[in-house]
Amino acid sequence: MKAIIFDLNGTMINDMWYHTLAWEDILNNDLGGNFTREQVKQNMYGKNHELLVRMFGQDHFSIEEMDKLSLEKEKRYQKAFLPELKLLPGLHEFLEQAHAKGIVMAIGSAAITFNIDFVLDGLGIRKYIPVVVSADDVSISKPHPETFLKAAELLNVAPQDCLVFEDVPKGAEAAANAGMKTVILTTTHEAEEFSYLDNVLHFAADFTDPYITGLVKETLNKTPQFLFNKRESDLIIKQTITMEFNYYGHACFAVKIGGKHILFDPFITPNELAKAIDVNAVPADYIFVSHGHFDHMNDTEVIATRTGAKVIASFEVHSWFNNNGVSNTHPLNPGGQLALDFGKVKCFTAVHSSSMPDGSYGGVATGFALKSDEGNFYYSGDTALTMDMQLVPRWADLNYAVLPIGDDLTMGIDDAIEAAKMVNVKTVIGVHYNTFGFIMIDTEDAKKRFEAAGITLLLPAIGETITV
């Protein structure tokens, strides 16, 4: 990383609410519009003139009228926001450290110079940021890459050596179009809104986030440098940081990443082997359901209702939960990927049957790969050995895999060993064994066979928490 380019509004300062209110006042009270706040918010990207055209049409205003409206809007915004004018937490320290490391910095914003000066001079940070590209300096706004490419040119740094900080999808898209990676500040948009982009490295609430502070420390400098140079893929390097893994029996487990509890295939209360687990005490921020069989989703509704966790599953499973009272869901089919606040997830094919508890069609069975700053792993779901597994390490450099080993209904030991080789891991956590008569195995023999193949097989006890 040789250069950093900051968007301004919502990225360096948390002021988008004030912009929304100023535009809402102008559009509805001054101009007689009838726009909802959400309509105003969704159209707040690019130049002020472009927003007016989007809202009222191409020939509704003259250039002079739009100039006047734009300036009036900014005056109202500045008057309202001035008492709250301050940098996002941690940003001033970040600017000082980056400057001390010799990292050059710029602002690339759709704001007009009038507003950028308001911030730079009002907060006394112009000395850190010698280059400014505003709406007045470009002919085409974001998501066109002109803003960021011009900033890189003025900094005399190649686009691939620049890191962009943004807060809106159109801005992150502009960075992608410029060939630049981006870190997203979640001041105005949810992580899911960026899921169509593959250049997002991280989501953070502010600049105190450990990933961001690590960017300007010598000990962590190699990681972002690798990411920026390895442009043919979106791999995240294996970290030495360990992940907390909680095993709840059968194929139900949870991984803690970035403070989020990510639960898979909840099947606890009907499992006699897991009777010591209190389902009402199981934490969850996200619940991934690999397919519709009862032994992979039985406790989803009760846990999701209690915790408010988002349920992520194939379209048919997602729809079934919606129809049965679970509304906080998101569909994800094989090939699809999703950006969330802990990292990214991609859905992969599993070769297995799937039906819902009421006998309705459960769509295709799936597996999931997750990657984050704290490491990457793959859960195959119930599946046979399939050559599609070779696609997983092309997307994520895995720390470990969670694989079924019980045979009969899924892979057995030998196929799970081959699967581990395909996804390029040396550590496997075995699941889906010894719950029913069909899937009983000799666990000591299983460990020896994995060991003979140069792979460590971990079989945590039900209720046990391990680090991996």
Residue 112: predicted pLDDT:
86
State mean pLDDT over 437-448.
95
Alpha-helical segments (H) within 235-386: 300-307, 315-323
Task: Say if residue 64 is in the same domain as residue 86.
Answer: yes
CATH number of the CATH domain containing 215? 3.40.50.1000
Per-residue pLDDT tens over the stretch 85-113: 899 999 999 999 999 999 999 999 988 88
Q: Does the structure show a pLDDT above 50 at 192?
A: yes
State mean pLDDT over 10-23.
89
Task: Say if residue 134 is in the same domain as residue 87.
Answer: yes
Distance CA 242, CA 342 (A): 15
Q: Does the structure show a pLDDT above 60 at 222?
A: no
Among the candidates 186, 202, 232, a domain finishes at 232
Task: Say if residue 211 is in the same domain as residue 340.
Answer: no
Structure tokens at 108: 């690339």
Residue 227: predicted pLDDT:
35
Task: Say if residue 190 is in the same domain as residue 326.
Answer: no
More confident residue, 187 or 239: 187
Distances (CA, A) of 35 to 27, 50, 57, 70, 370: 8, 16, 14, 17, 39
Task: Say if residue 216 is in the same domain as residue 273.
Answer: no
Q: Where are the beta strands (DSSP E) in 28-174?
A: 104-108, 131-133, 162-166
Task: Say if residue 181 is in the same domain as residue 294.
Answer: no
Residue 258: predicted pLDDT:
85
Among the candidates 197, 232, 267, a domain finishes at 232
Task: Say if residue 58 is in the same domain as residue 179.
Answer: yes
CATH number of the CATH domain containing 347? 3.60.15.10
Average confidence score pLDDT of the chain: 91
Among the candidates 198, 232, 266, a domain finishes at 232
Distance CA 75, CA 119 (A): 13
Residue 239 lies in a domain: no
- Do 238 and 223 touch, CB atoms closer than 8 A? no
State mean pLDDT over 298-309.
97
Q: Does the structure show a pLDDT above 80 at 310?
A: yes
Q: List, in sequence order, every residue forming a beta bridge with 377; answer none if it has no partner.
A: 370, 400
Residue 237 lies in a domain: no
Structure tokens at 225: 């440098």
Predicted TM-score (pTM) of this structure = 0.55
State mean pLDDT over 157-176.
95
State mean pLDDT over 441-460.
95
Number of domains into which the chain is organized: 2
Domain hosting residue 283, numbered range: 244-467
Task: Say if residue 183 is in the same domain as residue 265.
Answer: no
Residue 300 lies in a domain: yes
Q: Does the structure show a pLDDT above 90 at 62?
A: yes
Return the exposure string of 354-375: e unless at least 16 CB atoms fall within 10 Å of the residue's CB, then b.
bebeeeeebbbbbbbbbbbbbb
Placement of tokens 């397919």 in the chain: 291
Residue 42: predicted pLDDT:
84
pLDDT band for position 81 (50/70/90)? confident
Determine how many CB atoms are found less than 10 A away from the CB of residue 428.
25
Q: Does the structure show a pLDDT above 50 at 407?
A: yes
Counting residues of the chain whose pLDDT is more than 90, the rounded percentage is 78
Task: Say if residue 130 is in the same domain as residue 28.
Answer: yes
Task: Say if residue 221 is in the same domain as residue 261.
Answer: no
Counting residues of the chain whose pLDDT is more than 70, the rounded percentage is 94
Residue 176: predicted pLDDT:
94
The dihedral over CA atoms of 281, 284, 289, 295, expressed in degrees to the nearest 10, equals: -10
Distance CA 433, CA 136 (A): 64
Helix (H, G, I), strand (E, B) or coil at 392: helix
Residue 405: predicted pLDDT:
98
Residue 233: predicted pLDDT:
34
